[in-house]
Amino acid sequence: MLKPTLVLAATLMASQSASAQLLQRDLGDYNLQFGTSPARTMAQGLVKPATSDTVHGGLDLSNDSGWYFGQWTPSMGLTASTSMEIDTYTGFKSSLTPALGYEVGVIHYTFPDLATNDSHEVYAGLTVLSTRFGAAFSDDPGRRDSTLFADFGHVPLLDFGVRVKVGDHQLDTPYTIGDGSEVRGFSDWSVQLSRAFMGVDLNLIYSGSSLGGASCEAYSGQNSWCDGSLVLQAQRSLF
């Protein structure tokens, strides 16, 4: 049985313009963005470029037709604890009607400093009125990950924004834990309730996984913790 953990996080967040730069220029029917902050969040919020080093950046080129292409380098590998990573992506985003839109694409992950195979992730998103759905599948060395995402927007009855994410993770080589048992795969999930209050963004997040106790040694999913966790987060921009 999962043991819930209560975590309270209060964070003061500076605006992106204070810590990152993004240059934008129109080139005919194309829009070019280049900077040190990710220019795009893919698949309706399902896939978001990570940042894990002090030096990072990328470019994004999109066309009025809905096609886009870009590269993002979350880490230049300038420190001993990090390695260079290059994420190359392309996709297409369009609307069928004012109430229905979609997005499909693929990301290719390259690690030039590591003796490991490249990996890729395919994703798709669907928008219906104010509700967004997404799905992604990644084929990484040694594992396969599948994720489903739903953002229901602001739910009037609850007066909260609601987001749900569910993941399934399968390992090519079973992970052996201390008692000798093996973990071949696991699933995880998270539910997020969001609301703005007096200029503060409040988020209540419950997350959990199918692992627990000693088997949490094998956990490497989308959540920060393996066991069931309840996080209350408050964020406010300083600028």
pLDDT score of 150: 93
Q: Which two tokens stand for residue 74?
A: 């979350």
215-236 residues labelled b (16+ CB within 10 A) or e (exposed): bbebbebebebbbbbebebeee
Q: Are 77 and 53 in contact (CB under 8 A)?
A: yes
pLDDT for residue 162: 92
d(CA 217, CA 239): 40
What is the SS3 assignment for 170-211?
Answer: EEEEEEECCCCCEEEEEEEEEEEEEEEECCEEEEEEEEEECC
Percentage with pLDDT > 90 across the chain:
36
Quick one: average pLDDT of 54-64? 82
pTM, rounded to two decimals = 0.75
For the chain, what is the mean pLDDT?
Answer: 82
pLDDT per position as a tens digit, 119-167: 889 999 999 988 999 999 998 888 999 999 999 988 877 788 999 999 9
Task: Tell which wins on pLDDT, 239 or 17.
Answer: 239
Alpha-helical regions (H) of the chain: 16-19
Residue 83 · residue 114 · CB < 8 Å: yes
The answer regarding whether domain 5-237 maps to CATH 2.40.160 reads yes
Out of 53-62, 82-91, 115-124, pick the least confident.
Answer: 53-62
Mean pLDDT over 207-222 rounds to: 92
CB count in 10 Å sphere of residue 29: 9
Task: Determine the average pLDDT of the residues in 228-234.
Answer: 89
15-29, 46-60, 143-157, 204-218: which has the highest mean pLDDT? 204-218
Whether the Cβ atoms of residue 179 and residue 166 lie closer than 8 Å to each other: no
- Give the pLDDT score at 24: 78
Where does the pLDDT of residue 111 fall: very low under 50, low under 70, confident under 90, or very high at 90 and above?
A: confident
Spatial separation of the C-alpha atoms in residues 168 and 147, rounded to whole Å: 6
For residue 19, the model assigns a pLDDT of 45
Q: Rounded to the nearest 10 degrees, how much is the dihedral formed by the CA atoms of 185, 82, 68, 120? A: -30
- Residue 33's φ and ψ, nearest 5 degrees, are -125, 135
Contact partners, residue 7, CB within 8 Å, separation at least 6: 229, 230, 231, 232
pLDDT of residue 118: 81
Residue 78 confidence (pLDDT): 66
Query: Quick one: pLDDT at residue 173?
Result: 92
